[in-house]
Amino acid sequence: MQTSFRPLTGAYDGLSIDLAADSSFLGLSSAHLQDPGRFWPVVWVPLAVGIVLVWLVGRSRFGTTLEGIRENEERMRFSGYNTFLPRLGAFVLSGLLASLGGALFALNAAYVSPDVLSFSQAGDSLIAAMVGGLGTLVGPLAGTALYVWGQARLNSGANLHLYTGIALIVVLVFLPGGITGTLQRLWKRVKR
């Protein structure tokens, strides 16, 4: 087993993030970073900027090109588009937003562990996005809000995964497109 990097990575134990007693991040001390009442503006500002950025990218020519690549990449190549560079740009943008979220998580938790990269964490995020609706920008946010609410209210007796599974089955069977996709379809029917 490789042990030479254990002091740097913490291996399976993870790493504690220890700030010096007199240091701060954006004027917040280590104790304030772990206080949800004081840390929420630090999270909400990048979230709002990220939402606006993704919304602008989705409505740009770059976003239209990505949509065409998603629908039929081969047809886009035959139309003369270079499909590699737009896909690379989308990958870099998603990596940037994900790393920003990871850095904010590490600041708040003061701890980083390989468990954060486990399948159950990624699966929970994917399920929350699917329940909210993958076709819209607001869908994953709504699914995440519902998941966080479920964690706070329905986690008694360790049944959260049961409720999450039931919600996923209900969405897949009865609400294709997730909650926001279904609300959009209902709104279009009401407008007619």
Domain with 186 in it: 118-192
pLDDT of residue 11: 67
Q: Is residue 177, in this structure, part of any structural domain at all?
A: yes
Between 74 and 160, residue with greater pLDDT: 74
pLDDT of residue 5: 66
Q: Write down which residue in 115, 149, 165 finishes a domain.
A: 115
Residue 97: pLDDT over 90? yes
**Whether residue 125 is found in the same domain as residue 167:** yes
Residue 8: pLDDT over 80? no
- Tell me how many domains the chain contains: 2
Secondary structure of residue 33 in the 3-state scheme:
helix
Q: Write down which residue in 115, 150, 172 finishes a domain.
A: 115
Task: Give the pLDDT band (50/70/90) at residue 91.
Answer: very high
pLDDT of residue 15: 72
Mean pLDDT confidence for 16-36: 74
Q: Is residue 71, in this structure, part of any structural domain at all?
A: yes
**Whether residue 110 is found in the same domain as residue 124:** no
Q: Write down which residue in 115, 138, 155 finishes a domain.
A: 115
Q: Is residue 8, in this structure, part of any structural domain at all?
A: no
Q: Is residue 110, in this structure, part of any structural domain at all?
A: yes
Q: Which residues contact 53 (CB under 8 A, 6 or more apart)?
A: 93
Q: What's the CA angle centered on 6, arms 5 and 12, to 5 degrees? A: 125
**Whether residue 58 is found in the same domain as residue 149:** no
Q: Torsion over CA of 168, 170, 131 and 126, rounded to 10 degrees?
A: 20
**Whether residue 81 is found in the same domain as residue 134:** no
Per-chain mean pLDDT for the chain: 85
pLDDT in tens, 37-52: 778 888 899 999 999 9
**Whether residue 23 is found in the same domain as residue 109:** yes
Write down the pTM of the prediction. Answer: 0.76
pLDDT of residue 2: 60
**Whether residue 19 is found in the same domain as residue 107:** yes
**Whether residue 89 is found in the same domain as residue 61:** yes
pLDDT in tens, 114-164: 777 788 788 888 888 998 988 888 899 999 898 888 888 877 777 778 888
**Whether residue 137 is found in the same domain as residue 111:** no
